[in-house]
Chain A
Amino acid sequence: MSFLRLLARNRLALAGLVVMACVCLLALVTPLLPLAAPDITDTGNRFRPPFSEGALLGTDHLGRDLLSRLLWGTRLSLAVGLAAAVTAAVLGAAIGIVAGFYGGRTDNLIMRGVDMLMAFPYILLALAIVAALGPGLMNALIAVAAVNIPFFARNIRGVTVGIAHKEFVDAARLSGMSDLRIVLTEILPNVVPVIVIAMSTTVGWMILETAGLSFLGLGSQPPVADLGSMLGEARAALITSPHTSVVPGAMILVIVMAINLLGDGVRDALDPRLKSGALNRPLPATQVARDAPVPAAQGGAALLSIDGLKTEFRVKGRVYRAVGGVDLDVRPGECLGLVGESGSGKSVTALSVMGLVASPPGVITGGSVHFDGQDLIGARYETLRRIRGDRVAYIFQDPQATLHPLYTIGTQLVEAIRAHHAVPRAEARARAVDLLGAVRIPNAAARIDSYPHELSGGMRQRVGIAMALANDPDVIIADEPTTALDVTVQAQILALLDELRRARGLAILFITHDFGVVAQLCDRVAVMYAGRIVETGPTDAILSRPAHPYTARLMACVPAPGGGRRRLATIPGLPPSVDDLPAGCAFAGRCDLVQDTCRRGEITLDPLTADRAVRCPTPLRAGAPAS
């Protein structure tokens, strides 16, 4: 079973399992062991220290053998804790399933009651129940179980509600099965893992709580003792004979810790989200592991020069080469479009520039990014941070997710300015109002105190642009800034960007999958496929006469205005997976014009004319009109 294997792989959980197994085994065989009777008092031999003759752990305040009492007490504590857990789980699950399955008023009534019980401070409720029933181990068990029922009921109800409206339950209903049978055959099997997780995370608590009630004198009554009442009785002699307290206390600690380790392991093994390791936090800057010599900057006049950039994602022993050696130059005041399908590596290229690729799992494994003569790949964090947002700024795709939801846009703009310039808050705020005006946000002085959720999508993206402009950067990297917006808003944002770059002399690296956008904004364009540039050149030239078959096919996918009668072209097949790229041209499998040479060796990006290059052994004839 994969579940057991996962559990076994978790060393800590395994340790917990081993310890628990030993404790349980000891508890089971206690009656068979040659131990002194746990309740025989011998006041002549009180408080004997550990390792005394005939009493390995010493004796307690009545001269009873501590080892024997410890084992019998452990047995009792485990039994009571487990019984409480099972009782709470069974009753809680039953209540939760009934509430979740029937819904409506039944659900409402039950959950109100559950909420009431949960409004109590936990141990207080247990105390009230014991107060009513009277002290005693059985009553303590009932109290602890009762207090935990709401927790199970609420958890299980949530899961049941999710299942009760699934198709297979409807099907069972239509086939005339009784409610009881549906619950037993369709619902229960799906709920059991949740019950197991909930039990594994709470059984430790319940052992602690029953021990606690016994410690207070409200649980097991003399002469029978569980671990809690042993500790409670030893408290009077804490200072003179601490070992009588340490022995039962340490045992509780060991048991609860082992159960918690095991419970975490069970939860990790059963919770698929944790299994995938999706909960890795990204480092402040992408990890760099370059194994080849660092290429020098190629583009002479370029402001931003990317050379041989390689970025990969390392997930569970597989390596996805998202960017496989990309060269790009952005000159001052120029807008360069980077075009490709989803998954072509264009966003990863853009994020690699400032080390913003989530890492782990991302690693930059080669190449260089020169900005203003300095290589940013592998630069110190502080160097990167000083450039980020000050000289190279980003605009991201979805302004709903990329703005902080809990700060006003003013606060976020002011922060962007003050991250790089020590200006007084009031001055930064005045500048923020100017910025909002510059990106055409009406009534900027009032809008600045809005939260992102109070703005429309287009307005939020204007804020995103204002934030990128905050420190008058030299380069803006715009990662599909208009994709999440509707078409009319898209056009406004593009017009705004175009105007701003001409007015401020900005260089823009514009990432998009849309050739229409490229035509409107970009001076030059680079087409990316499976992590590499396949064609680059001036926008006009490429749009009118694409040289790479992929470029031509991609352009054919764009609906032409007015040409409504044409059947919209698609490219058959899918891009190759970047963890298993074929030799030769990555597009060969989907290309109409494929030849034998396409599937061999390394195909290089060769100059076509003075300002164009293409990565294809048989480029389309330059001059052939786009199909």
Chain B
Amino acid sequence: MGSYILTRLLSAIPVLLGLSVIVFLIMAMIPGDPATAILGSYATPENVAKLNRDLGLDKPLVQRYFIWLGNMLQGDFGRSFSLNRPVLDEVAERFGATLVLAGTAFVICSALGVAAGVVSAARQYGAADKAITFAVLLGISIPSFFLGMMMILIFAVNLRLFPVSGMWPIYGARDAAALLRHLTLPALALSVVATGVIARLARSAMLEVLRQDFVRTARAKGVHERGVIWRHALRAAMVSIIPVLGIQAGFVLSGAVYIEIVFQWPGVGRMLVDAILKRDILLVQGGVVLVAACYVMFNIAVDVAQSLLDPRIRT
């Protein structure tokens, strides 16, 4: 098991390098001159040339990449000119808030999605199946930002059950209860699409598994139908559900950007959109690399979970 985790960690290195190359190339595509973008169109040519030298932009592309990579490996992601603070500090602070939101949403969509898929498959063509199928269709069709706005309108403005926006109360204690009140609506809004996708897949994975011989064996043993569904069939279906959970984690993590905007959540997605609109390239670059790297590591965790669940992978 230990060697499996080590191999997977080592295999992440080329992926992470690839990610950094892609981000670097995308940023190198930027038309025009970043120095002009930073200094504005009234900058003198001397100032532009100086800033270009300071930023290392006068060097060849390959050399620039390795300088950038070397700096990142030392924890130096550069300075955000719009916020005038180190990129890493800003991203680390914002990423915490995003993780709270996306993590909660991920737990909700995994639990709810798998449960809905299992119930739907076990009651195929029944009333529960039809209701779930319809809800799932609605869930995967509604834009999360529109859903979030409607939730604010109904549950925060009209029913006054939850705060309208933000992560913490402006006045008052920053305790778990306050966080939970602020978290409920955005986490739900963020989880809806992924819940639908997971439920769909879980349903078809379960239908596939329920026809297999070992399910008949379990029934022949006299195992109660609950055990047949949840212990035998679901365990086998999880093998094909877990990779999808990994993919959906990526959707939840990056889809958080819409929810962060709608609910004024101080996360990394909102930071990125602001940075893009202000053309703060270093902040975008650093934010994208860090979030993507975290996602790669999360996917390794998913693979390890997969191998724990399926003894056939380990050997």
Contact = CB atoms under 8 A, between A and B. Distances in A.
A120 B309 contact: no
A211 B23 contact: no
Contacts of A389: 220-223
B258 interface: yes
Closest 9 CB pairs of A and B: A389-B222, A249-B146, A121-B254, A123-B254, A116-B18, A257-B141, A388-B222, A281-B210, A389-B221
20 contacts: A120-B292, A120-B295, A127-B257, A133-B29, A216-B273, A231-B145, A231-B149, A238-B153, A239-B153, A242-B153, A256-B143, A280-B124, A281-B124, A281-B207, A282-B216, A381-B225, A385-B222, A402-B214, A415-B231, A419-B224
Given A135-B277, A256-B143, A261-B137, A120 B222 contact: no
Given A121-B295, A401-B212, A128 B273 contact: no
Interface in A98-137: 112-113, 115-117, 119-124, 127-135
Nearest to B123: A281
A151 to B, nearest CB: 11
Contacts, number: 232
B105 interface: no
Nearest to A407: B235
Nearest to A204: B141
B298 to A, nearest CB: 10
B299 interface: yes
B146 A406 contact: no
Contacts of A386: 222
Interface of B: 15, 18-19, 21-23, 26-27, 29-31, 121-122, 124, 137-138, 140-143, 145-146, 149-150, 152-153, 157, 204, 206-208, 210-225, 227-228, 231-232, 235-236, 239, 250-251, 253-255, 257-258, 261-262, 272-273, 275-277, 279, 281, 284, 288, 291-292, 295-296, 299, 309-312, 315
Contacts of B231: 415
Contacts of B276: 127, 130-131, 135, 218
Contacts of B251: 121-123
Contacts of A280: 124, 207, 211
A319 B307 CA distance: 44
Which secondary structure characterizes the binding site on chain B? helix
Interface in A280-317: 280-282, 284
Contacts of A112: 18
B273 A404 contact: no
A514 interface: no
Given A281-B122, A385-B224, A129 B26 contact: yes
Nearest to A124: B254
A227 to B, nearest CB: 9
Nearest to B310: A406
B153 A208 contact: no
A211 B144 CA distance: 11
A381 B228 CA distance: 14
Nearest to A451: B311
A245 interface: yes
Interface string A352-388: 0010101000000000000000000000010001111
A234 to B, nearest CB: 8
Given A238-B152, A381-B225, 12 more contacts: A116-B21, A124-B292, A133-B30, A216-B261, A217-B273, A218-B273, A279-B208, A280-B211, A356-B220, A393-B220, A403-B217, A407-B235
A454 B312 CA distance: 9
Contact residue range for chain A?
A: 35 or more
A92 to B, nearest CB: 17
A117 B273 contact: no
Given A249-B143, A281-B122, A128 B284 contact: yes
Contact of A394 (B142, B220, B315): B220
B57 to A, nearest CB: 15
Interface string A230-253: 010001001100100110010011
Nearest to A129: B26
B220 A354 contact: yes
B85 to A, nearest CB: 19
A59 to B, nearest CB: 19
Contacts of B291: 121, 124
Interface in A259-284: 260-261, 278-282, 284
Given A121-B250, A404-B232, A279 B207 contact: yes
Nearest to A250: B146
Nearest to B16: A119
B221 A401 contact: no
Contacts of A119: 15, 18-19, 292, 295-296, 299
Contacts of A260: 137, 140-141
A514 B315 CA distance: 37
Contacts of A235: 149, 262
Contacts of B124: 280-281
A328 B277 CA distance: 81
A358 B275 CA distance: 59
A471 to B, nearest CB: 8
Nearest to B294: A121
A233 to B, nearest CB: 12
Contacts of A123: 251, 254-255, 257
Contacts of A388: 219-222
A502 B157 CA distance: 77
